[in-house]
Amino acid sequence: MRDAKPSHRIIPPAIERREPGCFDYKGPIQVTDGLPEPWYATGLKFTCTQCGNCCGGAPGYVWLDEAESAAMAAHLEMSIEQFAKKHTRDGGRGRRSLREKRNGDCEFLRTDPDGKKRCGIYEVRPLQCRTWPFWQSNVQHESDWVIASRSCPGMNKGQHHPLPVIQAALLKNHQAGLRV
Ligand code: SF4
Protein backbone atom coordinates (compact mmCIF):
# COMPACT_ATOMS: atom_id res chain seq x y z
CA MET A 1 0.00 0.00 0.00
CA ARG A 2 1.27 3.37 -0.79
CA ASP A 3 1.00 6.32 1.38
CA ALA A 4 -0.44 9.24 -0.47
CA LYS A 5 -2.20 11.88 1.46
CA PRO A 6 -4.98 12.78 1.42
CA SER A 7 -6.09 9.51 -0.08
CA HIS A 8 -3.53 6.74 -0.12
CA ARG A 9 -0.24 7.89 -1.41
CA ILE A 10 1.80 10.50 0.17
CA ILE A 11 3.39 13.38 -1.57
CA PRO A 12 7.16 13.45 -1.56
CA PRO A 13 8.71 13.42 0.89
CA ALA A 14 5.75 12.97 3.17
CA ILE A 15 3.93 10.23 1.26
CA GLU A 16 4.35 6.56 1.23
CA ARG A 17 2.65 3.73 -0.44
CA ARG A 18 0.48 0.87 0.44
CA GLU A 19 -0.13 -2.37 -1.24
CA PRO A 20 -3.18 -4.50 -1.81
CA GLY A 21 -3.93 -4.39 1.83
CA CYS A 22 -4.94 -7.67 3.36
CA PHE A 23 -4.14 -6.50 6.84
CA ASP A 24 -2.64 -9.32 8.83
CA TYR A 25 -0.42 -7.64 11.37
CA LYS A 26 0.03 -9.87 14.37
CA GLY A 27 2.50 -7.85 16.39
CA PRO A 28 2.38 -7.13 20.10
CA ILE A 29 -0.85 -5.63 21.34
CA GLN A 30 -0.57 -2.49 23.41
CA VAL A 31 -3.48 -0.47 24.66
CA THR A 32 -2.78 3.09 25.72
CA ASP A 33 -4.13 3.78 29.19
CA GLY A 34 -5.11 7.15 30.54
CA LEU A 35 -6.10 8.69 27.23
CA PRO A 36 -9.60 9.42 25.97
CA GLU A 37 -11.08 6.66 23.87
CA PRO A 38 -10.54 7.27 20.18
CA TRP A 39 -13.49 7.54 17.82
CA TYR A 40 -12.72 3.99 16.63
CA ALA A 41 -12.82 2.51 20.13
CA THR A 42 -15.27 -0.17 19.06
CA GLY A 43 -12.99 -1.24 16.23
CA LEU A 44 -13.07 -0.87 12.47
CA LYS A 45 -13.99 -3.11 9.58
CA PHE A 46 -11.61 -3.89 6.75
CA THR A 47 -11.14 -6.69 4.27
CA CYS A 48 -9.15 -6.10 1.12
CA THR A 49 -11.07 -6.60 -2.13
CA GLN A 50 -7.85 -6.73 -4.14
CA CYS A 51 -8.87 -3.85 -6.37
CA GLY A 52 -5.30 -2.54 -6.43
CA ASN A 53 -6.26 1.11 -5.97
CA CYS A 54 -3.80 1.57 -3.17
CA CYS A 55 -0.77 0.28 -5.05
CA GLY A 56 -1.15 1.85 -8.40
CA GLY A 57 -2.25 4.70 -10.55
CA ALA A 58 -0.36 7.59 -9.05
CA PRO A 59 3.15 8.15 -7.76
CA GLY A 60 3.82 7.25 -4.19
CA TYR A 61 6.35 5.81 -1.84
CA VAL A 62 6.72 2.45 -0.18
CA TRP A 63 9.42 2.84 2.39
CA LEU A 64 11.76 0.00 3.24
CA ASP A 65 14.18 -0.49 6.05
CA GLU A 66 17.25 -2.67 5.83
CA ALA A 67 15.62 -5.75 7.30
CA GLU A 68 12.70 -5.49 4.89
CA SER A 69 15.05 -5.05 1.95
CA ALA A 70 17.01 -8.10 3.04
CA ALA A 71 13.83 -10.17 3.37
CA MET A 72 12.64 -9.15 -0.09
CA ALA A 73 16.04 -9.81 -1.62
CA ALA A 74 16.10 -13.29 -0.09
CA HIS A 75 12.54 -13.95 -1.28
CA LEU A 76 13.56 -13.01 -4.81
CA GLU A 77 16.82 -14.94 -4.52
CA MET A 78 18.90 -11.84 -5.15
CA SER A 79 21.68 -10.21 -3.25
CA ILE A 80 20.74 -7.17 -1.19
CA GLU A 81 22.82 -5.05 -3.53
CA GLN A 82 21.09 -6.44 -6.62
CA PHE A 83 17.70 -5.91 -5.05
CA ALA A 84 18.49 -2.33 -4.07
CA LYS A 85 19.68 -1.49 -7.55
CA LYS A 86 16.87 -3.17 -9.44
CA HIS A 87 13.85 -2.62 -7.22
CA THR A 88 14.42 0.45 -5.05
CA ARG A 89 14.96 4.16 -5.52
CA ASP A 90 16.18 7.05 -3.46
CA GLY A 91 13.39 8.57 -1.41
CA GLY A 92 15.49 11.32 0.11
CA ARG A 93 17.00 11.67 3.54
CA GLY A 94 18.73 8.34 3.15
CA ARG A 95 15.52 6.41 2.72
CA ARG A 96 14.74 3.85 0.03
CA SER A 97 11.39 3.24 -1.63
CA LEU A 98 10.20 0.53 -4.00
CA ARG A 99 10.38 1.40 -7.68
CA GLU A 100 7.23 2.00 -9.70
CA LYS A 101 6.21 1.26 -13.24
CA ARG A 102 5.78 4.14 -15.67
CA ASN A 103 2.06 4.18 -14.98
CA GLY A 104 2.68 4.67 -11.29
CA ASP A 105 1.83 1.11 -10.26
CA CYS A 106 4.05 -0.56 -7.72
CA GLU A 107 6.56 -2.72 -9.52
CA PHE A 108 5.28 -5.79 -7.71
CA LEU A 109 1.58 -5.26 -8.36
CA ARG A 110 0.26 -7.86 -10.77
CA THR A 111 -3.09 -8.71 -12.24
CA ASP A 112 -4.07 -12.35 -12.05
CA PRO A 113 -6.27 -14.14 -14.60
CA ASP A 114 -9.26 -13.66 -12.31
CA GLY A 115 -8.81 -9.89 -12.58
CA LYS A 116 -7.72 -9.54 -8.98
CA LYS A 117 -4.73 -7.36 -8.23
CA ARG A 118 -2.18 -9.11 -6.13
CA CYS A 119 1.16 -8.32 -4.59
CA GLY A 120 4.00 -10.30 -6.11
CA ILE A 121 5.95 -10.23 -2.84
CA TYR A 122 3.00 -10.53 -0.49
CA GLU A 123 4.78 -12.76 2.00
CA VAL A 124 7.54 -10.21 2.52
CA ARG A 125 5.71 -6.95 1.92
CA PRO A 126 6.86 -4.11 4.12
CA LEU A 127 5.27 -2.92 7.33
CA GLN A 128 3.75 0.08 5.59
CA CYS A 129 1.72 -2.27 3.43
CA ARG A 130 0.92 -4.67 6.25
CA THR A 131 -0.63 -2.02 8.43
CA TRP A 132 -2.94 -0.41 5.88
CA PRO A 133 -5.53 1.02 6.49
CA PHE A 134 -4.69 1.46 10.16
CA TRP A 135 -2.42 4.42 9.66
CA GLN A 136 -2.38 7.48 11.85
CA SER A 137 -3.26 9.59 8.83
CA ASN A 138 -6.41 7.53 8.35
CA VAL A 139 -7.63 7.42 11.94
CA GLN A 140 -6.57 10.80 13.26
CA HIS A 141 -10.12 11.99 12.73
CA GLU A 142 -13.16 10.06 11.63
CA SER A 143 -13.32 12.31 8.58
CA ASP A 144 -9.86 11.06 7.55
CA TRP A 145 -11.17 7.50 7.60
CA VAL A 146 -14.18 8.51 5.53
CA ILE A 147 -11.97 10.21 2.94
CA ALA A 148 -9.60 7.23 2.71
CA SER A 149 -12.52 4.83 2.36
CA ARG A 150 -13.58 6.55 -0.85
CA SER A 151 -10.62 5.04 -2.64
CA CYS A 152 -10.39 1.79 -0.69
CA PRO A 153 -13.52 -0.33 -1.09
CA GLY A 154 -12.25 -2.72 1.57
CA MET A 155 -12.69 -0.22 4.36
CA ASN A 156 -15.88 -0.45 6.46
CA LYS A 157 -16.51 -3.96 5.14
CA GLY A 158 -15.67 -7.49 6.12
CA GLN A 159 -13.48 -8.39 9.06
CA HIS A 160 -13.87 -6.49 12.30
CA HIS A 161 -10.55 -5.33 13.78
CA PRO A 162 -10.76 -4.52 17.48
CA LEU A 163 -9.13 -1.49 19.05
CA PRO A 164 -5.99 -3.26 20.34
CA VAL A 165 -5.19 -4.52 16.84
CA ILE A 166 -5.56 -1.02 15.40
CA GLN A 167 -3.43 0.43 18.17
CA ALA A 168 -0.78 -2.21 17.60
CA ALA A 169 -0.54 -1.22 13.94
CA LEU A 170 -0.29 2.45 14.84
CA LEU A 171 2.38 1.72 17.42
CA LYS A 172 4.38 -0.42 15.06
CA ASN A 173 4.43 2.27 12.38
CA HIS A 174 5.35 4.89 14.95
CA GLN A 175 8.21 2.77 16.27
CA ALA A 176 9.45 2.24 12.73
CA GLY A 177 9.39 5.98 12.07
CA LEU A 178 6.79 5.63 9.34
CA ARG A 179 4.89 8.89 8.96
CA VAL A 180 1.84 7.31 7.45
S1 SF4 B 1 -9.53 -2.88 -1.19
FE2 SF4 B 1 -8.28 -1.23 -0.33
S3 SF4 B 1 -6.47 -2.25 0.46
FE4 SF4 B 1 -7.45 -3.69 -0.94
S5 SF4 B 1 -6.43 -3.32 -2.92
FE6 SF4 B 1 -8.30 -2.04 -2.90
S7 SF4 B 1 -7.57 -0.04 -2.12
FE8 SF4 B 1 -5.97 -1.56 -1.62
Residues 6+ apart with CB under 8 A from 165: 25, 29, 43, 134
Omega within 30 of 0 (cis) for the link into 113: no
Rounded Cα gap, residues 169 and 176, in angstroms? 11
What is the DSSP track for 11-52?
-TTT--B--S----------PPPSSPPPTTTT-EEE------
pLDDT tens string 55-112: 988 888 999 999 999 999 999 999 999 999 999 999 998 899 999 999 899 999 999 9
What angle in degrees, to the nearest 10, is found between the helix axes of 80-87 and 66-75? Answer: 100
Domain boundaries, the chain: 44-175
Task: Give the number of the atom of ligand 1 that is nearest the alpha carbon of residue 151.
Answer: 7
What is residue 152's three-state secondary structure?
coil
Check whether 19 has a pLDDT greater than 90. Answer: no
Nearest CA to 2 among 87, 74, 108?
108
With the most atoms of ligand 1 within 8 angstroms of its CB, the residue from 3, 45, 50, 149 to mutate is: 50
Q: Are strands 155-161 and 44-46 parallel, antiparallel or unpaired?
A: antiparallel
Highest average pLDDT, of 4-18, 43-57, 149-163, comes from 149-163
Q: Which residues line ligand 1 (CB under 6 A)?
A: 1, 20-21, 48-54, 117, 132, 152-154
pLDDT tens string 20-58: 444 444 444 445 556 678 999 999 999 999 999 999 888
Check whether 138 has a pLDDT greater than 50. Answer: yes
